[in-house]
Amino acid sequence: MFSFLNKEKNSSSKSIDPYIKIAALLIHAAKIDENYTEKEKIIVIKALINLGLKEDNVNEIIKKAEEIEKESNQILEFTKEIKNLNKDSKIKIVEELWKIIYSDNNPDIYENNLMRRLTGLLYLDPKIVGDIKEKIKNNLVK
């Protein structure tokens, strides 16, 4: 599904680095409302597995990503690799971000601001990001 992530790589740190950056971004979105819940953590885990990460590595990646996110004061370092992905991969990551934001059914201005910033940083059309937002929101209502 995500060609750059699914290339056969050994267990070197370079092979898991993209997952750490993606996880850190997802965790940042979960923490931006100052309420990082278990439900959000599960969404992050499922997202990483859907992106091709082996389940054996999930806990290690989450732990490293939480540390990196805690130490960071900007999201640019998390988006560097993501912005170079193909459009479909970026859309999948944006879908996961919106799932995290809507997991408490109460998106706030900080979460919406984050998504506006990410739209530009990931070189995505705001209409596409808005459509994804509506899709996720509508799926929660059903």
> Domain 13-141 belongs to what topology?
TerB-like (1.10.3680)
Residue 71: what pLDDT? 93
**Model confidence, pTM:** 0.87
Beta strands (DSSP E) in 1-142 are none
What SS3 class is residue 118? Answer: helix
Using the structure block, give the residue that is written with the tokens 């929101």: 137
Q: Distance (Å, rounded) from C-alpha 115 to C-alpha 5? A: 23
Residue 101 near residue 29, CB atoms below 8 Å? yes
Residue 9: what pLDDT? 41
Give the end-to-end CA distance of the chain in Å, rounded to a whole number.
27
Q: Which of 129, 93, 89 is nearest to 112 (CA)?
A: 129
| pLDDT tens, per residue, the chain with 142 residues | 454 455 434 444 455 688 999 999 999 999 999 989 999 999 999 999 998 899 999 999 999 999 999 999 889 989 988 998 899 999 999 999 999 999 988 899 999 999 999 999 999 999 999 999 999 999 876 5
Residue 51: what pLDDT? 87
Q: Distance (Å, rounded) from C-alpha 31 to C-alpha 45? A: 15
